[in-house]
A = this chain, B = another copy of it.
Amino acid sequence: MSQNGATGMATVLDVAKLAGVSTATAARALGGYGSVSPATLQRVQAAAAELGYRPNALARSMITGLTHTVGIVLADIENPFFYGALRGITDTARSEGFDVLLANTDEDPAHEHNAIAALVERRVEGLILCPTDGESRAHLSSLIESGMPIVLLDRSMRGLKADSVGLDNRHAAADATRHLIELGHRRIGIITGGPPEAEASLRRPMMKSVEQIGNTTFPARAAGFRDAMLAAGIEPRREYLSAAGFHRHEAEAATSELMQLAEPPTAIIAFDSILALGALLAFRQLGLRCPEDVSLVGFDDAEWAEVVSPPLSVVRQPVYDIGAKACRLLLDRIKNPERKPSSYRMKGTFIERESTAPV
């Protein structure tokens, strides 16, 4: 099956020799370009089959300048939002003949930086990423300046000339908050997940100039929360805001802390599904009944949200569509690099189940 000594793989040259033609003709026959007579076409194809010839995509990319590969840099594949979006991305990429190079940053800027560098060196034609923090703005900006098509997923970054796709977080969060307010809740806590460093800036200016905080999603959700609260004439309370990390146990601890305040909140909004899980766990641990003692709203309609106890009221994001849209936007920009960047904010839908009830 194999031929060439070094790599053990047959090359066009091998095929050409066996078929008795030049490499140029063999390449034309195999690549389906130029003009080849039916007879030689047939001969070359037979030779290729006999040798088990597989074209070397690297060599092809070298000369064409096209890798037909996109890079995906995600924060956490184990989060329902990300693997849902990833599914949308891989599906559309494949349908357009693109492959996907995946990197998981685990919210670590250093990993993100390395991952992006590696992908650039591999000459991916475009990048879908959700940047972990604001530090990398300059770096990303110069990357975009150098012509790399980039789509921001889930998170957007102020002043970055890149497409972005994500939820309309502000309105979605406002909807959820309004729902709780209508049920009579006044003391509402939020588990933002956001990095602990962000907590200070979240609390201090009381989310006044949210857009300045950075890139992640939670400031927008916090802003929506604040919008709804203020619209109802309720002043959000600092001690009800928590930002203790994205992991389940961190959310569990954060919720515990909130619920053990002298005057605990009567409702909690968790900013993603993992965080909601943590909150639920904390309730259970503290012997609190949901929704009798405390209401809970989550983000992301994970497949288990319906089966959990109690079935979770959530803001559903169209995760698959967000991923698919991001990928389509990227492929479009690859074809048409001059297009002005645009930002797509998908509508979330509030789904009421049994974890929310009147106070």
A239 CB → nearest B CB, Å = 26
Contact A121 B55 (CB under 8 A): yes
The interface residues of chain B lying within 8 Å CB-to-CB of A306 are 281
Smallest beta-carbon distance A243→chain B, Å: 21
| A37 interfacial contact with B, CB 8 Å | no
Interface membership of A187, Cβ < 8 A? no
> Across the interface, which residues of B come within 8 angstroms of A62, CB to CB?
58-59, 62
Contacting chain B: which of A98-106, A157-165, A195-203, A209-217?
Answer: A98-106
- The answer to the question of A234 belonging to the interface, with a C-beta cut-off of 8 Å to chain B, is no
Tell me, rounded to whole Å, the shortest Cβ–Cβ distance linking A140 to chain B.
14
Q: Given that A274-B303, A303-B277 are contacting pairs, would A58 and B123 also be in contact in the complex, using a CB cutoff of 8 Å?
A: yes
A28 adjacent to chain B (CB < 8 Å): no
Determine whether the beta carbon of A8 is less than 8 Å from that of B146. yes
Residues 114-170 of A contacting B (Cβ, < 8 Å): 115, 117-123, 142, 145-147
What separation, in Å, do the CA atoms of A115 and B95 have in the docked complex? 12
11 extra interface residue pairs, beta carbon distance < 8 Å, beyond A55-B121, A78-B87: A7-B65, A57-B123, A59-B62, A77-B77, A77-B86, A77-B87, A99-B103, A99-B119, A248-B303, A281-B306, A281-B307
Task: Indicate whether A83 reaches chain B with its CB closer than 8 angstroms.
Answer: yes
Residue A280 at the B interface, CB < 8 A?
Answer: yes
* A83: contacting residue among B61, B83, B103, B277, CB under 8 A: B83
Q: A299-331 toward B: CB 8 Å interface, digit per residue (1/0)? A: 000111011111000000000000000000000
User: B61 and A58: CB pair below 8 A?
Assistant: yes
- Copy number in this complex? 2
The answer on a CB contact under 8 Å between A2 and B123 is: no
> A90 within 8 Å of B by Cβ?
yes
Report whether B78 and A84 are in contact in the complex, using a CB–CB cutoff of 8 Å: yes
- What count of chain A residues pass the 8 Å CB interface test? 59
Contacts of A84 in B (CB 8 A): 78
Q: Max chain B CB contacts within 10 Å: which of A6, A62, A102?
A: A102
User: CB-CB < 8 A to A55: which residues of B?
Assistant: 121
Which residues from chain B contact A87 at a C-beta distance below 8 Å?
Answer: 77-78, 104
A67 adjacent to chain B (CB < 8 Å) = yes
Chain B residue at minimum C-beta to C-beta distance from A281: B307
> Nearest CB to that of A106 among chain B residues?
B91
Query: B77, A83: Cβ atoms under 8 Å?
Result: yes
CA distance A150 to B106 in the complex (A): 27
**Contact of A145 with B57 in the complex, beta carbons under 8 Å:** no
Using known A-B contacts A90-B103, A122-B57, determine if residue A2 contacts B146 with beta carbons closer than 8 Å: yes
| Known contacts A55-B121, A146-B52, A304 near B308 by CB under 8 Å | yes
Contact, CB under 8 Å: B77 / A99: no
* A121-B7 CB under 8 A given contacts A90-B103, A146-B1: no
Q: Does A179 contact B (CB under 8 A)?
A: no
Which listed residue (B52, B65, B145) contacts A1, Cβ 8 A? Answer: B145
Complex Cα distance A102/B69, Å? 11
A54 within 8 A of B: yes
Question: Taking the nearest CB of chain B, how far is it from the CB of A191, in angstroms?
Answer: 15
Contacts of A115 in B (CB 8 A): 94
Does A123 lie within 8 Å of B56, measured CB to CB?
A: yes
| Residue in A99, A100, A309 whose Cβ sees the most chain B Cβ within 10 Å | A99
Q: Does A111 contact B (CB under 8 A)?
A: yes
Chain B nearest CB, measured from A92 CB (Å): 11
